[in-house]
Structure 1
Amino acid sequence: MVRRPVLAAGCVPVIVALALAAVPARADRPGGVVPAPAAAPAAPAAPAAVTTVTAAAVKPPPGMLEAIEQDLNMSREEAETRLINENRLLAVAARLKEKLGVRFGGAWLRTKTAHTLVVASTSAADIPQIIVEGAQAEVVPRSLTQLIAIRKKLDATLPPDPLISGVRYVDVKRNKVTVLATAPQRVGVFVQKSGVDRTAVTVLPSVEVPLPLSAPSYELVGGAAYYVGPVNRCSVGFSVTKGAQAGFVSSGHCGRKGDVTTGFNRVVQGVFQASAFPGSDHAWITVNESWKTVPAVESGAGSTVAVSGARPAVEGASICQSGSTTDWQCGRVQQLNASVTYPQGVVSDLTRTSICAEPGDSGGPIISIDQAQGVTSGGSGDCASGGTTYFQPITEILTTYGLTLKTTGDDMPSGASRACTGYPRQVTGTLIKGQDDYQPAEPYRSAVAGLHVGCVDGPEDADFDLYLEKWTGLKWLAVAPGDGVTSDEMVSHQGTPGSYRYRITATTGSGPYVLGFTTP
């Protein structure tokens, strides 16, 4: 493999000045960057604006840090640092992808704590703007668009047999398309006949044999089981809407248009409105009035993770899956833009991950912190020996069916606002800096599972945080944090029956507050 020099962004003003003198790569150094010739350095560029990101800027949902520690073999400090870095660098990656356009060659994270973002371009002229954004620059011969075109041509050429060439993906680190094959020599012949640039393809021996993860066997929360027929079990993905219709997305191989679903409790639930498999692997299902959609996914031990958006993760990012078989599992994004060959045919534009999954997890949600990523399609291996999982990105599903992802804030009561008016229950109080208050005066008990929504409005110059807590039988446990940097916070939680209360904390500032909330 050709080793390509990488330009670091450790000291932005100095490196920007040097990068401006870079010259195009020579033919004898493919994919490389020729250092600037020895000459008087250019005048230093103006320092780039730097946004300081602290631990308070990233508030992972309950249970996520613990799962990342365990599944990615990290300390608590490493897991916290990783999420802080990812939150900052994924925004950088999105900006650079838009700026570079057709020259964009991909992006990936490096180091255990995702400290470094590498962004590739087909033009050395893009090096300065990549470095100014705080990323490392790498010059590559092929753009991401070109690599995807090569992968699509291979999809149409290679035999549709998972036992021969089960997986193909764009490997942006190598700037190639990789084919994982149980019969690499045979696959090599097909690659040669396909007419693609052979130097842009790597065929590797592999034991991955993709299979869909469906299995024989009144709140709608991602990761919960649902059934198609008497024994077919899959997992709920993300809650969505289409006009006045509410429902959820899941895997296409779980059912076909017109199929009726029942929920985890075997109560009639919904109907498949559309489904695609193979080619793609996605579906959307409308639900009846007995089921209420919520922007949340199960994260184990009765907890849920709120869904706030759908910002795509890049290669190397940590992500987690909720499924009705394996519950809550975490891993990393390995490659984007992958194709896999199932026994039923090829599915393209999937994301390949190190998450383990098992039959029954199909359709379950994949999430990065609080950002929806996609629904589980299939996998290879299992959670006992380790495995690989592929998911269908959420953006394609939403676009294909004209759906809107349900996110936090959608379930606020009619007339409610950030000023916390319009809630059926309201209480008031006063806090001084460093003080906690608990509301209502007597904790309330919810006899049924359902959605809890709370909102606190404090003084404009203060930072008041809001936490929904549940009694475990031994202690009060925070199940939904709202700890941003303003005096107005909102939390939502899909909860099980039990006793609840709100804790309001004056992190900075003092003064009166209003708490509005709803109960199931």
Structure 2
Amino acid sequence: MKILKRSALSTVTALFASITAVNGLPVTAHAAPSEESVSESEAAREMFSAMRRDLNVGEEQLRRRLAFEAIAPAMEKDLRAQLGESFGGSWLNEEGTQLIVAVTDEASAARVRRAGAEPRLVKYSKAQLDRAMADLDRNAASAPSSVHSWYVDVATNSVVVQAESGTSLMASRAQAFASLSSGAKDGMVRVEASTQAPRPAYDLRGGEVYLIGDGANGSYGVCSVGFSVQGGFVTAGHCGSAGAPTKSGNGTAQGTFRASTFPTNDWAWVATNSSWTPRPWVYNYSNANVLVSGSTEAGIGASICRSGQTTQWRCGTLQATNVTVNYSNGPVYGLARTNACANPGDSGGSVLSGNQAQGVTSGIAGGCESASPQTFYQPVNPILRAYGLTLITSGGGSGATKGLVSRMNGKCIDVPNGNFADGVQVRMWGCNGSNAQLFTWSGERLTIGGKCLDVSGASTANGTRIQLANCNGNRAQDFVLSAAGDLVSYLANKCVDIEGFNANDDAKLSIYTCTGTSNQKWDFK
């Protein structure tokens, strides 16, 4: 069997000792997926299947959720900037199809309605909640072991302290800790019962990937790869200390922990050797790779999937951000919490929302056997900033130049005759690798020949043509490539569409209500 030396998969083993792995890819229970053998659409189908299972939703409802989740972060960013001190936080509704924004006054609520979101009047601003949270963080050393975590819960407009409440002494200690926040006297801080103490989700098990250490006494640490970066991958800090060697599942030398922090933060990165090529992939344990397109942070309520070597591919929703977890080793700040379950051995593994990298698995409270699991993850963007790392993405990262290919007919979006003039309408044409087909993707803008891809006249109507225009910062030039392959106009919340399913050269493009059909599906290549 061909050995594929790739460290890009976010998780790197399978089912205990009955399955071995080669360079991060299972080779006994599953055939190793290659870049050529597994299409993005196949990976998307497997991802949808897992999300339907874990979120308990139908396919159409899931497609609506993913389409809205693709534009929600930009909506939230705009409203946060507009509302200033009156902003109270935001989250998605249970269906994931509406952004709810908390505000402290009616004038701000009217602004939220005009933006197409649902306002919720609250007593405290997000800034006030964050200050109350910061008070608890400053007093983290005073937290008793019965206090498990604390975080801002924007949906209830409060700061929540999770703690055991089995005895009156435990309850009084939790209340005493909560009282250290300046918000306690105003009723801003509340104590919530917690039955499971968080713990780092790693395990010590001989012979499984990825392995940490030198194998002394026949044992290795076992964790899961997070996300590929230039030169290696990121993972959880508690998995290994700086200088620790790593190996793949079959014992092949893989790399070395270049840097690691735990507690306070739970992040690390491993520099891999020259035999490994980082790829923008996360393995979904159904013989397919999910492509990673960027690292836009999801909002509370958004769908979350995570991959790890013990429990494989599990999905849920984002429940809280900026959570402080009081591990037995010491507090870790700035984590996020999801109900996408995990178990020991999953630590360090990748956490995604759609095709956007979110973080690496840190710890669990309850695990997959629990009726209400909690999984904590370390957000990925702070890791990248801390170590100056560049995430490997399917577009090659910011500044990458690629063609945009239709899944319907394999043709490329093309600028007619290479005429990069303002107002020129783009079309479909056979892919030829010319400059008229090579777009630079910034994560939200598509530029070519010094111009931006643009929705004509900033219209939101079905059938509005796609053109080139001078880059001007207008939202008509912002697009999102969703996990399902939809190229969505942020302004219109509609998909770039090949008109009339025309498979011929010179077919025109416009925006149209997203339907999930092949004439609206795109890949970077």
- TM-superposed CA distance for 1:509, in Å, is 4.1
The aligned counterpart of 2:73 is 90
In structure 2, the partner of 1:184 is 171
Give the alignment partner of residue 239 of structure 1, picking from 199, 219, 228.
228
Query: What's the TM-score, normalizing by structure 2?
Result: 0.67
Contact preservation (8 Å) 1:463, 1:507: no
Alpha-carbon distance between aligned partners in 2 of 1:134 and 1:120, rounded to the nearest angstrom:
14
Mapped partners of 2:374, 2:506: distance in 1? 52
Q: Equivalent residue for 1:173?
A: 155
Aligned residue pairs, count: 387
1-structure distance, mates of 2:48, 2:144: 35
> What is the alpha-carbon distance in structure 2 between the residues aligned to residue 464 and residue 76 of structure 1?
32
Residues 210 and 378 in structure 1, CA contact (< 8 A), matched pair in contact too: yes
Aligned to 2:346: 361
Distance change (3 Å), C-alpha of 1:194 and 1:117:
closer
Give the conservation status (yes or no) of the 8 Å contact 1:458–1:511: no
Shift of the 481–357 alpha-carbon distance from structure 1 to 2, 3 Å rule, reads closer
Instruction: Considering Cα pairs closer than 8 Å and 6+ residues apart, tell me whether 1 or 2 has the greater RCO.
Output: 2
Whether the 8 Å contact between 1:320 and 1:330 is mirrored in structure 2 is yes
TM-score (norm 1): 0.67
Identity of aligned residues (%): 38
CA 1:74/1:463 → structure 2, altered by over 3 Å: closer, same or farther?
A: farther
Q: Match of 2:352, SS?
A: strand
Aligned 8 A contact 2:224 2:349 in 1: yes
Judging changes above 3 Å, is the alpha-carbon distance between structure 1 residues 392 and 102 closer, same or farther for their aligned structure 2 residues? farther
CA contact under 8 A between 2:132 and 2:181: conserved in structure 1? no
- State the distance in 2 between where 1:416 and 1:96 align: 31
In the alignment, does 2:188 pair up with 1:200?
yes
Residues 293 and 356 in structure 2, CA contact (< 8 A), matched pair in contact too? yes
Residue type of the alignment partner of 1:256:
S
| CA separation of 1:289 and 1:157: change in aligned 2, threshold 3 A | same
Does structure 2 retain, via aligned residues, the 8 Å contact 1:297–1:306? yes
Of 302, 305, 308, 2:290 maps to: 305
* Residue in structure 2 matched with residue 69 of structure 1 by the alignment: 52
Match of 2:472 in 1: none
Indicate if the aligned counterparts of 1:161 and 1:343 stay in contact, CA closer than 8 A.
Answer: no
Q: 1:458 to 1:482 in 2, by over 3 A?
A: farther
Q: Which runs of 5+ in 2 are unaligned?
A: 1-40, 165-169, 417-425, 432-482, 490-499, 508-522
Q: As a proportion of its length, which structure holds more strand? A: 1
Q: Flag the 1:419–1:331 CA change in 2: closer, same or farther, 3 A.
A: closer
Cα distance in 2 for partners of 1:193, 1:90 equals 33
Distance 1:322 1:364 in 2: 6
The alpha-carbon distance between structure 1 residues 481 and 185, as it changes in their structure 2 partners (threshold 3 A), is closer
Q: Cα distance, 1:402 vs. partner?
A: 1.5
Tell me which amino acid in the other structure corresponds to 1:135. Answer: A
Asked whether the 8 Å contact 1:459–1:510 carries over to 2, the reply is: no
Which residue number corresponds to residue 462 of structure 2?
Answer: none
Report how far residue 140 of structure 1 moved.
2.6
Q: Which has the larger radius of gyration?
A: 1
Tell me how far 1:93 sits from its aligned partner. 1.4
Correspondence 1:371-390 to 2 at 5 A: 371-386=356-371, 387-390=373-376
Structure 1 pair 190/435, CA: closer, same or farther in 2 (3 Å)? closer
Alignment of 1:375-414 (within 5 A): 375-386=360-371, 387-410=373-396
Deviation at 1:458, TM superposition (A): 6.7
Tell me if the contact between 2:135 and 2:180 (Cα under 8 Å) persists in the aligned partners: no
User: Structure 1: where are the runs of 5+ without partners?
Assistant: 1-57, 218-223, 421-430, 438-454, 467-479, 487-505
CA distance in 2, matches of 1:459, 1:384: 54
In structure 2, the partner of 1:251 is 236
Letter in structure 1 aligned against 2:250: N
Which among 302, 325, 328 is matched to residue 313 of structure 2? 328
Does the 8 A contact of 1:235 with 1:250 survive in 2?
A: yes
For residue 99 of structure 2, what is the aligned residue in structure 1? 117
State the Cα RMSD in Å: 3.5
Structure 1 residue 213, shift from structure 2 partner: 0.7
Q: How far off its partner does 1:193 sit?
A: 4.5
SS in 1 for 2:377: strand
Change (3 A) 1:284 1:160: farther
Aligned equivalents of 1:71, 1:465: Cα separation in 2:
40
1:459-499 Cα deviation digits (max 9, x unpaired): 96655899xxxxxxxxxxxxx9867599xxxxxxxxxxxxx
In the alignment, what sits opposite 2:11?
none
